[in-house]
Amino acid sequence: MLSTFVLGATVTFAKWHLAQDARLGVLHFPISCGWQSQREFTTATSLLHLFQFADADYVYTDLVKQDSECAMGYWGIAMSRLQNPLYLLPNDDDVNIARRALTAAEAARHTSPRERAYIAAARKLFPATGISGWNERLIAYARAMEAVVTKYPEDREATVFFALALNFVAPLGDSISRERTRAAELLLQVFSEQPDHPGIFHYLTYCLGHEKYQPKPFERSTMTNPAQRIVLGAFAFFAMLGLGIFVAFTADFRPGAGERTGFGGPFVLTASDTRVVTERTFRGRYMLIYFGYTHCPDICPTTLMTVSQVLEKLGPLADKVQPVFVSIDPERDTPAVIGKYLEAFDRRIVGLTGSPAEIAAAAKQYRVFYKKSPFENSDDYSMDHSPYIYVMDPDGRYVTLFSPDQSPDQMEARLRALLSVSASDSATADLGRATVTTSSGN
């Protein structure tokens, strides 16, 4: 009984100590340095994801002062100097500081092969010798991070940094490039598993939309004061006893956590005409599936209007496409409410709703994030959600994403290309069947 209490108290304290500020989100990024350095590193990297580059640099620098052999602390200093190259490239001082930090990282004793891969990737951005253009450096960094993801598929932070690297090298202003689409797919995969990650929500909402967004700054809380260090020392022995449980709380080592699956899968929902439908109901047509809600003030109606325009532009080909609007707000969006709402856009858009459990199951299949956000001093609320349109082929397989900043013309062109390929494949199959029939007749 006493040992259970001690372990429970240790875990509770550790969790509190690692997440004192809820604004920093929940980050899983284990490193090989001591557990106190791990805490500082987690805080600094959360700040990095929140674009609080100066604060991140401050905490990383403090970390390596306390643990001069922690390689990933130096990596963090270099990455905080990269800042956001989409809008502002590092200056000469930033480059020199980052180079020195990576040199220290390469010489540090507390490191692992996985961490050395991160450091080697960062070195592509800040080479020790020679000077190349930023475009070449960013491309080399993206390739290096892809190698990290390939070698360590269970590392979700590697996936996030690779997605950001893809975003860096995508053609400027091109919202539908292959790189941006792949970045969105990767981030949505992580988002479905770690919705409280400090960076992914604004990466998806703003970075991939290429908006000039910076998360709102907040006053940096005191990280570790002397009193906390004394308490930590007192708990050090008990923390060793609870290490196994502590790791289970602070790292994602669950069976299957590294598996990556695609988007889409079975669902059972209720249409606006009260029919019960499944994903098989729409087989034989390309499905454009969008998750939103009828009280959405801007992005949902804008997206549905875009879909309506795409259907008009496709003309007769629109019969081969089925737009589907799935509500993430079953509390307010009854079948009747959804049916009335969609009348303002296009009657060909099918509206679906269901019980909270049914909606959650469908959203999980498509890796859609959504969360209820109550208004202050009010019973009303909004719904935060990922804003992408999922394009599924006639067999129900995922094809690509449409982002909310794409124009109707861009979406129409992509769908026409898909429909053209589909028609060509169908004609080839018909020809093959006719040949077999003729041969059999002979």
Structural domain includes residue 244: yes
Rounded Cα–Cα distance for residues 415 and 419 (Å): 6
For the cut 80, the answer to whether the pLDDT of residue 84 exceeds it is yes
What's the mean pLDDT when you consider all of the chain? 80
DSSP string, 353-381: E--HHHHHHHHHHTT--EEEEEPTTSS-E
Residues 15 and 159 in one domain: yes
Range 91-116 average pLDDT: 95
Q: What is the DSSP string of 102-151?
A: HHHHHH-SB--HHHHHHHHHHHHHS-SS----HHHHHHHHHHHHHHHHHH
Q: How far is CA 21 from the centre of its chain?
A: 22
pLDDT for the residue numbered 341: 95
State the amino acid at position 33 in one-letter form.
C
pLDDT average, residue stretch 239-266: 42
Q: What angle do CA 405, 301, 200 make, to 5 degrees?
A: 50
* Rounded Cα gap, residues 324 and 288, in angstroms: 6
Q: Is residue 166 domain-shared with residue 315, that is, in the same domain?
A: no
Residue type at 370 in one-letter notation: Y
pLDDT at 225: 41
Do 171 and 104 fall within a single domain? Answer: yes
pLDDT of residue 233: 40
Q: How far apart are CA 394 and CA 422, in angstroms?
A: 9
More confident residue, 293 or 6: 293
Q: Is residue 216 one of the residues assigned to a domain? A: no
| Distance of alpha carbon 197 from alpha carbon 73, whole angstroms | 20
Pair (199, 112) in one structural domain:
yes
pLDDT surpasses 60 at 214: no
Q: What are phi and psi of 286, to 5 degrees?
A: -70, 130
Q: What percent of the chain has pLDDT over 70?
A: 76
| Residues 408-429 pLDDT 10s | 999 999 999 999 877 666 554 4
The band of 406, judged by pLDDT with boundaries at 50, 70 and 90, is confident
Please tell me whether residues 272 and 246 are part of one structural domain: no
Q: Say if residue 241 is in the same domain as residue 375.
A: no
Residues 158 and 22 in one domain: yes
Same structural domain, 398 and 330:
yes
Summarize pLDDT for 23-47 with one digit per residue, the tens.
Answer: 678 899 999 999 899 999 999 999 9
Q: Answer yes or no: do 233 and 315 share one domain.
A: no
Q: Return d(Cα 268, Cα 278) in angstroms, integer.
A: 5
Q: Specify the range with the lowest mean pLDDT, choosing from 1-15, 30-44, 309-323, 324-338.
A: 1-15
Q: Which is more confident, 171 or 105?
A: 105
Q: pLDDT tens for residues 350-367?
A: 999 999 999 999 999 998
* pTM exceeds 0.85, yes or no: no
Q: What is the largest CA-CA distance in the chain?
A: 93
- On whether residue 424 sits in a domain, the answer given is yes
Q: Tell me, yes or no, whether 442 lies in a domain.
A: no
Residue 98 belongs to some domain of the structure: yes
- For residue 249, the model assigns a pLDDT of 31
How many structural domains are present in the chain? 2
Residue 288 lies in a domain: yes
d(CA 338, CA 352): 8
The DSSP symbol for 382 reads E
Beta strands at 370-374 and 268-271: parallel, antiparallel or unpaired:
unpaired
**CATH number of 147's domain:** 1.25.40
Look up the domain containing 8 and give its range: 2-211+225-250
* Residue 437 resides in a domain: no
| 30 domain residue, yes or no | yes
> CB count, 10 Å around CB of 46?
24
Please state, for a pLDDT cut of 90, what percent of the chain lies above it.
Answer: 55
Beta bridge partners of 402: 389
Q: Report how far apart, in Å, the C-alpha atoms of 356 and of each of 104, 138, 250, 383 are.
A: 51, 43, 29, 14
**What is the distance between the alpha carbons of residues 308 and 288, in angstroms, rounded to a whole number?**
11
First to last CA, the chain: 84
Regarding whether 297 and 165 lie in a shared domain, the answer is no
- CA 115/CA 417 separation, integer angstroms: 42
pLDDT given at position 21:
57
441/35 Cα distance (integer angstroms): 76
Say if residue 30 is in the same domain as residue 94: yes
- Three-class DSSP category at 161: helix
Residue range 273-286: average pLDDT? 94
Q: Which of 378, 408, 385 is nearest to 327 (CA)?
A: 385
Residues 245, 372, single domain; the answer is no
- What is the helix (H) or strand (E) element at residue 262, kind and residue range? none
C-alpha distances out from residue 263 to 91, 193, 281, 369, Å: 40, 13, 18, 13
> CATH number for the domain including 369?
3.40.30.10
